[in-house]
Amino acid sequence: MNLVVAPFAISLAAAALTLLLTEKSGLQKALSFLMSLLTFVASMALVAFVYQNGTQTLNVGSWPAPYGITLVADPFSAIMVGITGLITLAASLYTFGGMKLEGDFKFFPPLFHFMMAGVFGSFLTGDLFNLFVCFELLLLASFVLMVMGKEKAQLEGGLKYILINLVSSAFFLSALGLLYGKVGALNMAEIALRLQNSPDPQVVMITGTLFLISFSIKAALFPFNFWLPSSYHHCHPLISGIFAGLLTKVGIYALMRIFPLILIHELAYFKGLLLVIAGLTMVTGVLSAATEYNTRRILSFHIISQLGYIALGVAIFTPFSIAATIFYFIHHIITKTNLFFSAGLLHLIFGHDKIKLMGGLYKRSLPISIIFALSAFSLAGMPPLSGFFGKFFILKAAYLDGQWVLMFTGIAVGALTLFSMIKIWNQAFWKALPEGEKEPEIKVGVGPMLSATLLAISIVLIGIFAGPLFDFAIKAGDQIVDPAAYIQAVLGVVL
Amino acid sequence: MELFWSLVIGVLFAAAIYNILRRSLTKNLFGFLLLSHAVNLLIFTSGGYKRGAVPFIKGDSIDPSAITDPLPQALILTAIVIGFAVVAFVIALLQVFYASRKTDDVDDFTREEVA
């Protein structure tokens, strides 16, 4: 099925083409948008196709499955690809009026598409080594995007980000090498099959722990989360929005893939570990945000606490909790990106991120207020927005599994999230502008407004259509917990 | 043979971690170079060492268990290329960083302001 490779291939083509047009910024922007639209259509087509026909695979170059490169789009991958397509479109829309493609930023479109190719590749690949390669592709592009503009604070944040990610990649590669040495396969379905037949506890413990550390660093789980809030808020608002939505989620995605593959064979140990990590991630993230007064730094800390919920869903590892996690992915990626885009709107208006020096926006611009309020309340988990259902399903999964402490932690963290969001709301929107601050002009481009509106509408729609979406998520979750269907689709082996 | 190389890998990892934990960014970079060598050797070693036969198989002419698995070497080759690109970028970044800050000591990093 060739559609499986389409989002990845289109992104690569877009990167190559926009690289040729770095001197013609108008044309480059238009082409970048067109290619993003194409990516969006292709990824939505993939979602629709997988929804109707189940898991699709593509053996690149017709090499048979456990030996060649296999691309797999199971329902979970398809969902992730679909949201990534939406974010690609929204981000390209944002550049019209939100980013001037000059100086360093001439190279934003090609790098952006390279990064998206890496993200799509990570979601679609069927073997672990290609997961590593796609990770590196998206990381390398993100390194450059992170320091684009070359301001002092950015360089520092960028260095921290790069150095910690290099360590994480080394862990990943070591785990990969050891696993291949012992199991003799890199195809995920083949590994699952071989480990199911003879789970060697030594291999499982060592490679499992190495993978867990590597993906925890990438996903900013406690105690590896300190790089995130010291790097994400320094780059361009658009870039930090894309990072906030997608990059940490790729880490968690990989963790979810590795769980039924390897970690499941020492379930008691890894589940206990992940539950503790999840709880601490939620709490430390939200508490650190409480003392901050910089919009994007507050939001960065909230990425961490939200990742705690996702990790909680992964750790419980029942079909229901995995479905809840997948639903949380859908909600979280869109909401978080939109919050960063709204912070970008504030940045466009005030020229900085310090909420103490902002004010009076509610009176001046109702649309921006509504966009921010929708995303903020969705993040905090207010019904009927997407965040309510996301949190509800996760906490229900925790309840069904008897994780009382974590369930109440989740509720408390939700309340504290609301406190943080209200803090931004009070400072930037409700309070009068502080004395001595110049009344800002409300002049944001069409692009940022449109893309933020697009995502805000998605948040409401996800809340309204939570039922059908969750049904699809359940289908995807079943396949993660019981990989028999996945193995059959890739290898043609009936278990 | 495997034991010897395992020890070498261990020493490389130790040296890499020592360098990564130092304050100078340049030395951190050396740490990462060592780290990637250590990881590559680890993959190489986990593929096993066998001497003699080359991994070109025509029909059933060679017993597959007599040759070294060539796949780990392909993996290492990819990893080397990726590592090369990353290190090149980090060197360029360090140079820009040094030009703007005149320091490569992580203790001179600015503290994140809270307010």
Compare all CA atoms of chain B with the CA of A143 and give the residue at the minimum distance: B89
d(CA A160, CA A231): 7
Q: What percent of chain A has pLDDT over 90?
A: 54
Residue of chain A with shortest Cα separation from B95:
A155
Convert the pLDDT of each residue in A8-24 to its tens digit: 999 999 999 999 988 88
Residues of chain A neighbouring B36 (CB-CB closer than 8 A): 170
Structure confidence at residue B114 as a pLDDT band (50, 70, 90): very low
Which tokens is A360 given? 């009076």
Q: Name the residue among A162, A174, A293 with its Cβ closest to that of B90.
A: A162
Closest-CA residue of chain A to B16: A167
Cα dist from B97 to A106, A155, A353, whole Å: 21, 6, 24
Would you say domain B2-49+68-107 falls under CATH 1.50.10.10? no
- Which residues of B make CB contacts under 8 Å with A? 20, 25, 28, 32, 35-36, 38-39, 42-43, 45-48, 69, 71-72, 75, 78-79, 82, 85-86, 89-90, 93-94, 96-97, 100-101, 109-110, 112, 114-115
Q: How large is the angle between the packed helices A404-424 and A295-316, nearest 10 degrees?
A: 160
Average pLDDT for chain B: 84
ipTM of this complex prediction, to 2 decimal places:
0.91
The per-residue pLDDT for range A41-60, each reduced to its tens digit, is 999 999 999 999 888 888 88
- What does the pLDDT look like over A296-307, one tens digit per residue? 889 999 999 999
pLDDT reported for residue B111: 65
What pLDDT score does A54 carry? 86
A317: left (phi over 0), alpha (psi -120 to 50) or beta: left
Q: What is the pLDDT of residue A1?
A: 63
Query: In terms of pLDDT, which residue wins out, A346 or B63?
Result: A346
8 Å CB contact between A166 and B35: yes
- Give the pLDDT band (50/70/90) at residue A136: very high
Looking at residues A136-157, what average pLDDT do you find? 88
Reference A417, options A293, A329, A286, A281; nearest CA is A286
Q: Where are the domains of chain A?
A: 2-491
The ranges assigned to domains in chain B are 2-49+68-107
Chain B residues whose beta carbon lies within 8 Å of the beta carbon of residue A173: 39, 43, 79
Token pair 């466009």 in the structure block, residue: A348
> Are the Cβ atoms of A129 and B43 closer than 8 angstroms?
no
Residue A335, pLDDT > 50, answer yes
What is the C-alpha separation between A160 and B97, in angstroms, rounded? 12
> Which CA distances in Å does B26 have to A226, B30, B91, B109?
22, 7, 9, 15
Residue carrying the six token digits 């007599």: B66
